Amino acid sequence: MLDTRINRNLDIDNFSEYLNKGIHELFYEQVVMNPERVAISCLGKSLTYMEVHQITENLANHLVEKGAGVEKIVAVCVERSLDLVLILLSVLKSGSAYLFIEPNTPTDRISYIVNDISPVLLITAEEFPVIIPECNVDILQLSMDWKTSISGKQRSEIEVNPDNLAYVSYTSGTTGVPKGVSIPHKGVVRLVKGWGKVNTDDVFLQVSSSAFDASTLEIWSPLCNGGRCAVYGPGQVSPDRLAETMVNEQVTTGWFTSGLFNVMVDNHLCAFSELKHVIAGGDVLSPTHVTKLLNAYPNIYFTNGYGPTENTTFTTTWTINQHHPEDKVPIGKPIKGSDVIILDDNLELVPDNVIGELYAFGEGLARCYVNKPAETAQNFLPNPFGRPGERMYKTGDLAIRREDGVIEFLGRKDQQVKIRGYRVEISEIEITLSAHPEVNNVVVEVQKDMIRGNILIAYIVVDRNTGDHVRLITELREYLKSKLPYFMIPWAIIPLDEIPLSNNGKINRKELPVNLRTPRGLKVEYVEPRNELELELSRIWGDLLLKEPIGINDDFFDLGGHSLLAAELLLQIQNVLGIQIPARILYFNSTISELASEVKKTKLEVLANANE
């Protein structure tokens, strides 16, 4: 008899036939059934399923001539765009797997990834110029008119089986270097067919970076089910622009990181008015914001989607369309084709309502970590409760299974955390900082903030002769920017005389400083506010960014601001100063001095209009 504590989802009859197909084959089925239906749209441009098919056929033929094929990797470094989706589909049609590299990735990291995985080709686009370091890889730069000009000899039929590689996603690694997670076609097929929440009437928002595994759902779920993939477009995600995109594209389904979800609910609730399904995840969700959304739009379905990259985006989901009375948002039950169990340290099943570590298994599992057999063996274990030869993934997440079978996420067992939806291994940041010649000791801590979500604080011990800490902090920031992605840069770097230790010699994290007000750490000279308005703005910035002092020439984004904080800043200015400032004003006037001038100008315009 099957133990009821094993959440095996055997309801796969309706989609098991799909598990033998590749992602691109599912797309072609939609081409046959819905050739004139719009498949992709972005910034006023759109392509039908047949147009997408024809364009990607030509590029796939060209890629095969360039050496692409089954079990080969094609790297792609292109901004989020209509073109990017076309390129990824073309790679799959060529039989290859894609590896997406963020265009703003530091050159050292690009070099490491390319040398680690040895792609046959790296694709860039003339429309989105990027700096690629010298690597042992052929680079294909697509021209501005590539969609109509590119061609190649008709390729022979390429057989792709469910276990062949579909994509590789590099995540933060425990050894100080990133590790590539290898995802087969069946993992994605089980996601887009096993979850089964998208149909031909749906418009799915594509806003995540393709380096983030949520993009797997955003792109392939609509394209494999006859829906429309509505791409946000290149550039930083702004809540204002995102709300505009949701309305203009008539989005019906959207996925949001927990932090972005909170900001959108607080500041752009009306943007959800036409959505049928809202999905959020990437971190612990706020019950308050879920309730606020559902109270405003009781017909919306809301889903909390949970899953590590190693199990292809979603492992479990929890969906409701009514008021949520609980004080936490559970992660639900496994989707079709996925299974979970909760075990103790001896790999024994724990009773319901007892904390244990969550293990995932089923069709969504990654094959391995690229060129890391030891880490693969450490995290992908034989499943003692599964079929012969079946593996399970050790998530490192603590959870409980309720008596109704619903699972609640309780936190991380190790130091792996989510920052802005990205998975980050704390030890990688610590190792990178420790390599700097002026750093003797370092510990990186995560602290939660109601506005920012998880933020990284780095505590460093330096030589006592290092007197200018501000200079060093500035240098360390520039050093980290050359080594790590932006989301792994600590929000604050705080010098200490020593790292506090407990009686057993371990780091005593409870004794680390909790005062989040830190030096500004900018190269620009500090200039004090010259008037009351600049003083008030500097106070607002200081409260929001937790930096001290704030000079009139300090740039909001250099101080650690980003699109989510920008939305909160504009709201604070409206509440305190009674002036409504559009987001574009801040982006083009991002210092205290510049912003103060725009506030004055806006005040004068308001007064002039009032006197007319």
Q: Beta strands 121-125 and 439-449: pairing type?
A: unpaired
Q: What is the pLDDT of residue 212?
A: 87
Tokens standing for 426?
A: 């704390």
Q: How confident is the model over 379-400, as pLDDT tens digits?
A: 999 999 988 999 999 999 989 9
Residues of the chain with CATH 3.40.50.12780: 1-22+185-414
Whether residue 171 contacts residue 179, with contact meaning beta carbons closer than 8 Å, is answered with yes
Whether residue 241 contacts residue 207, with contact meaning beta carbons closer than 8 Å, is answered with no
Higher pLDDT, 269 or 545: 269
Q: In what helix (H) or strand (E) does residue 76 lie, and over which residues does it extend?
A: strand 73-76
Higher pLDDT, 496 or 59: 59
Q: Give SS3 for 28.
A: helix
The answer to whether residue 1 scores a pLDDT higher than 50 is: no
Q: How confident is the model over 401-447, as pLDDT tens digits?
A: 999 999 998 877 877 788 888 878 787 888 888 888 888 888 888 87
Q: How confident is the model over 171-218, as pLDDT tens digits?
A: 877 667 889 999 999 999 999 998 867 899 999 999 998 888 999 999
Q: Residue 393: which residues within 8 A CB-CB, separation 6 or more?
A: 308, 310, 311, 359, 360, 361, 365, 366, 379, 380, 381
Q: What is the pLDDT of residue 337?
A: 92
Q: What is the pLDDT of residue 4?
A: 58
Categorize the per-residue pLDDT at 257 as very low, low, confident or very high, splitting at 50, 70 and 90. Answer: confident
Share of the chain above pLDDT 70, in %: 91
Residues of the chain with CATH 3.30.300.30: 416-511
Residue 29, number of CB atoms within 10 A of its CB:
15
Give per-residue burial for 244-277: e unless 16+ CB within 10 Å, then b.
Answer: ebbeebebbbbbbbbbbbbbbbbbbbebbeebbb
Whether residue 433 contacts residue 439, with contact meaning beta carbons closer than 8 Å, is answered with yes
Q: What is the pLDDT of residue 208?
A: 92
The answer to whether residue 519 scores a pLDDT higher than 70 is: no
Q: What is the pLDDT of residue 517?
A: 59
The answer to whether residue 301 scores a pLDDT higher than 90 is: yes
Number of DSSP helices (H) and strands (E) in the chain, helices first: 17, 26
Q: Beta strands 228-231 and 38-42: pairing type?
A: parallel
Average pLDDT over residues 123-145: 87
CATH superfamily of 532-611: ACP-like (1.10.1200.10)
Q: What is the pLDDT of residue 2?
A: 45
Residue 165: phi, psi to the nearest 5? Answer: -70, 135
Domain 1-22+185-414 has CATH 3.40.50.12780: yes
Question: Among candidates 519, 584, 571, which has minimal Cα distance to 545?
Answer: 519
CATH superfamily of 416-511: ANL, C-terminal domain (3.30.300.30)
Q: What is the pLDDT of residue 503?
A: 47
Categorize the per-residue pLDDT at 7 as very low, low, confident or very high, splitting at 50, 70 and 90. Answer: low
- CB-count burial class (<10 Å; 0-12, 13-18, 19+) for 48: middle
- CB-count burial class (<10 Å; 0-12, 13-18, 19+) for 330: buried
The answer to whether residue 58 scores a pLDDT higher than 60 is: yes
Whether residue 139 contacts residue 132, with contact meaning beta carbons closer than 8 Å, is answered with yes
Task: Give me the chain's average pLDDT, please.
Answer: 88
Separation between Cα atoms, residue 47 and residue 40, nearest integer Å? 5
Higher pLDDT, 28 or 326: 28
Separation between Cα atoms, residue 206 and residue 229, nearest integer Å? 6
Tokens standing for 439?
A: 């750093």
The answer to whether residue 498 scores a pLDDT higher than 90 is: no
Tokens standing for 129?
A: 């110029």
Give per-residue burial for 544-572: e unless 16+ CB within 10 Å, then b.
Answer: bbbbeebbbebebeebbbbbbbbbbbbbb
Whether residue 599 contacts residue 592, with contact meaning beta carbons closer than 8 Å, is answered with no
Categorize the per-residue pLDDT at 12 as very low, low, confident or very high, splitting at 50, 70 and 90. Answer: very low
Whether residue 238 contacts residue 268, with contact meaning beta carbons closer than 8 Å, is answered with no
Q: How confident is the model over 89-116, as pLDDT tens digits?
A: 999 999 999 999 998 888 889 999 999 9
| pTM value surpassing 0.85 | no
Q: Beta strands 356-362 and 338-343: pairing type?
A: antiparallel
